[in-house]
Amino acid sequence: MTGRENERLKDLATLTKATRFLLYGGAAVAVLSLGSNLLEAGFLTDVRTGAFWSEGQALAAAESNDARQGVVALLYLGVFIATAIALLTWIHRASHNARQLGAQGMERGRARSDGSSYASNSPT
């Protein structure tokens, strides 16, 4: 391989680290979501058993629960979107590098290297 061919390869090191970080972040948010769901289950049990002294106390707890669940949901959505963008970008660049290194038999074109081929190959 000549120096010129190396120039055409796209560096994946930083993107790989970012994608890995986002995947671990997604796992952490999933654990956080599980904890938040357990707290919500406890709240609903308290509502069912009448553990609150007043309706105002129950409403305050409900609003707090809803706010917590909303924050977790937005965090989950943000990490999901960022991870999807990073992963699809990584797939695109890795596909480009494979072609530059002379990969044969890659049926999909550049435009399909973003992962959309997975949807078209899925059983219906």
Domain boundaries along the sequence of the chain? 15-103+110-115
Q: For residues 13, 16, 17 and 19, what is the CA-based torsion angle, rounded to 10 degrees? A: 160
| Cα–Cα dist 75/8, whole Å | 37
Q: Show Cβ contacts of residue 30 under 8 Å, excluding neighbours closer than 6 positions.
A: 76
- Indicate yes or no: pTM above 0.95: no
| Residue 31 CB burial class (10 angstroms; 0-12, 13-18, ≥19) | exposed
Cα–Cα separations (whole angstroms), residue 58 to 46, 62, 64, 86: 9, 6, 10, 42
Q: Per-residue DSSP letters for the chain?
A: --HHHHHHSPP-HHHHHHHHHHHHHHHHHHHHHHHHHHHHHHHHHHHHHT--SSHHHHHHHHHHHHHHHHHHHHHHHHHHHHHHHHHHHHHHHHHHHHHHTT-----S-GGGTTTHHHHHTS--
Between the two ends of the chain, the Cα-to-Cα distance in Å is: 43
pLDDT tens-digit profile, the chain (124 residues): 444 445 588 889 999 999 999 999 999 999 999 999 999 999 999 999 989 999 999 999 999 999 999 999 999 999 999 999 999 999 999 988 888 888 887 766 555 555 555 555 555 4
